[in-house]
A and B are shown apart, each in its own frame.
Chain A
Amino acid sequence: MNTFLEPLVSHFNYVAYIAIMMIGLYAMAAKRNLMKKLIGMGIFQTSIMLLYVSIGAKEGASIPIVAKYAETISPESYVNPLPHVLMLTAIVVSVATLGVALCLVQVIYKQYKSLEEDTILDKERS
């Protein structure tokens, strides 16, 4: 039991990101509603951001802001800010992706009056 639980607990962030990622992927692949697919896409992208944020963390470290008049700066007392900064960009990208996707969904809704893929496919065939 311990051999199973221990890596699970010590690598909690990796287990969590994979679980969340699979939920998102499942929603993208299996849901028939376009909005639900987009929600799945959002979950999928967020899981990768969670991974990035978690790899910057260190035990006992605080936010990476240097106090005024600090005499010595020890890198081990701050979390690594670079992955967080990268994720700012990635969040902007994912917001932009979602924006484009919502516009496309709107166009599709105007054409087919529906967001259910089955209905849309029926209308395309007829």
Chain B
Amino acid sequence: MQAAILTILLPLLGSILIVLGTWGRNRMGMTVALLSLVASAGMSVAVLVRVMEEGMLTYQLGGWPTPLGINLTIDGFSAVMLCLVAFASLLTLWSFRGDFLRKGQEKAPAMLGLYLLAVAGHMGIVATGDIFNLYVFIEVAALSGYALLSFGGARSARASLNYLLIGSVGASLYLLGVAYLYIATGSLNMLDVADIVAKNPTSGILFTGFVILVFGVWIKMALFPFHGWLPGAYGRTSLPSASLLAPLTTKVMAYVLVRFILTVFPENTAEAIPALSQLAVWGATAAIVAGAAFALAQTDLRRMLCYILVAEVGYMVGGSFVGNDTALTGTMLHVLADAAMTLTLFLALGNIVRRRGGQGPEQLDGLFSSMPVTMAAFVLGALSMIGVPPLCGFYSKWYLVSGAFEAGQFQFAAALLLSSLVNVVLFFRVFERAFFRKPPESGYDDVKWTRFAPLGLAAIALPLLGLLTGEIVDYLITPTLAFGA
């Protein structure tokens, strides 16, 4: 069963092939990129099916036995994340195919190579079972991300450098946390570390490592006081880069947080440091409120989405530190739901910008009459962000709010509800302009089906994920939770 490693290797080899083999022949490069992502998505589905049948999957790289060699450890949650990364990147590349081929043609192979490299990095973060290997994958994903975000006109290089400086601090703190874990256990394999930690009394070194590591991950996922890089980096870059990284990077780092809390550290680590859990839940509450407030102040559609993303990070951090299984289930569901919602909204934004040439408030006028199909998908994404029942955003929020009530963290529940209300205001402001104002041009002017199809697929995933919540929780999330306990 080589499918586990092939999900990562295919985009990695594809990026090398594009940079070395198809320089100057952009159409061929695009074909290679699409083919490798399609194959990788197929492999990720194969992994998911196998994990659902047989439980946790362990792949030993090079055949080296587990505690010594590096291995990939894929359980239900990581398998579904793997599928998510594969399909989100495939749909984004499909949707922005024209932009890669047209704009900055001489740079297209470099962008495609970096794109695939970023995908491989994100897949690796999700699949790996080795804490140092995880650092390497974080840096692979981040470095290609920094370079990808700098392709975007005048101010993107400075925003990208800012992201690089903050991102390196986050990754370095993660590495430092790994050092403390290594001092405490002498092992780097996640399951092995968990085993050693469970057999021995927990020590101060372990707690120190936990705190440092968690801070590093918070910086990487842009939790509120560390969020400064996100609107700059995603707001100023080209749309294909933002649409790839905005749904994936923060969500994949949230996955890392959940993985460490559930698998690596013993169950009561977060409760054993009440100051940290309290700080995390209050910080998450602050992040949600601040993200909502910043989003209200934006007129530009893309920057508004970026600040909504900052608020969503608060959901995930808060949910993972509230400290009961309901909230953790909510966090895992929200990681999936938020990735799908952000993807839908950014792809729709891409179609709008392509037709109207901008993302300011006046470009939204009359969108419903001129681009009805794109706006239908946008409305689905927006309703899911708000949390309307059949869509996936509702179910994850439901779990998060009930988890917060169970734990008595009422301020967190209040912030969740407040942010839903703010989302109503934000999106209905957009709808109002798009429905009641007169469009600048007359008549029907929607995108071709080749650009609508990926957006439509992403939008259909929202109610589908919502309706399948019960199955996802039963078959994929509960085994992960049960394993951690």
Contacts and interface: CB of A to CB of B under 8 A. Distances in A.
Interface of A: 25, 28, 34, 37, 41, 44-45, 48, 51-52, 55, 83, 86, 89-90, 93, 96-97, 100-101, 103-105, 107-108, 111, 120, 124
Interface string B125-165: 00000001001100100010011001000110110110011
Contacts of A100: 143, 146-147, 164
B158 A93 contact: no
A100 B164 CA distance: 9
A100 B176 CA distance: 22
Interface stretch (B33-41, B51-59, B167-175, B471-479): B167-175
A55 B176 CA distance: 12
A100 B150 CA distance: 10
Nearest to B136: A89
Given A41-B168, A97-B139, A97-B164, A107 B150 contact: yes
B20 interface: no
A108 B161 contact: yes
Contacts of A34: 161
A111 B139 CA distance: 27
B3 interface: no
B172 A44 contact: yes
B282 interface: no
A113 to B, nearest CB: 14
Contact of A55 (B147, B150, B158, B179): B179
A71 to B, nearest CB: 24
Given A34-B161, A48-B172, A124-B155, A104 B182 contact: no
B16 interface: no
Nearest to A51: B179
Contact of A86 (B132, B158, B172): B132
Interface string B95-129: 00000000000000000000000000000000000
Q: Name which of A83, A96, A104 has the most chain B CB atoms within 10 A of its CB.
A: A104
Nearest to B167: A97
B157 A28 contact: no
A93 B154 contact: no
Contacts of B161: 34, 101, 104-105, 108
**DSSP class of A's interface residues: helix, strand, loop or mixed?**
helix
A97 B157 contact: no
B183 interface: yes
B200 to A, nearest CB: 18
A90 B139 CA distance: 10
Contacts of B183: 55
Nearest to B159: A104
Contacts of A107: 150, 157
B157 A111 contact: yes
Given A45-B172, A86-B132, A108 B158 contact: yes
A111 B154 contact: yes
Interface of B: 132, 135-136, 139, 143, 146-147, 150, 154-155, 157-158, 160-161, 164-165, 168-169, 172, 175-176, 179, 182-183, 188
A86 B158 CA distance: 31
Given A100-B147, A101-B165, 9 more contacts: A45-B168, A45-B172, A48-B179, A52-B179, A83-B182, A93-B143, A96-B139, A97-B143, A107-B157
**DSSP class of B's interface residues: helix, strand, loop or mixed?**
helix
A41 B165 contact: yes
Contacts of A103: 147
A28 to B, nearest CB: 6
Contacts of B172: 44-45, 48
Contact of A120 (B158, B165, B175, B176): B158
Q: Name which of A86, A89, A111, A124 has the most chain B CB atoms within 10 A of its CB.
A: A86
Contacts of B136: 89, 93
A9 to B, nearest CB: 19
B139 A93 contact: yes
B157 A104 contact: yes
A124 B157 CA distance: 13
B175 A48 contact: yes
Nearest to A38: B165
A113 B169 CA distance: 27
A103 B135 CA distance: 23
B130 to A, nearest CB: 11
A96 to B, nearest CB: 6
Nearest to A102: B161
10 contacts: A34-B161, A48-B179, A83-B182, A89-B132, A93-B135, A93-B136, A93-B139, A107-B150, A111-B154, A120-B158
Nearest to A93: B139
Nearest to A104: B161
B229 to A, nearest CB: 13
Contacts of A28: 165, 169
Contacts of A93: 135-136, 139, 143
A96 B143 contact: yes
Nearest to A105: B161
Q: Name which of B154, B157, B169, B176 has the most chain A CB atoms within 10 A of its CB.
A: B157
A88 B382 CA distance: 46
B164 to A, nearest CB: 5
B168 A97 contact: yes
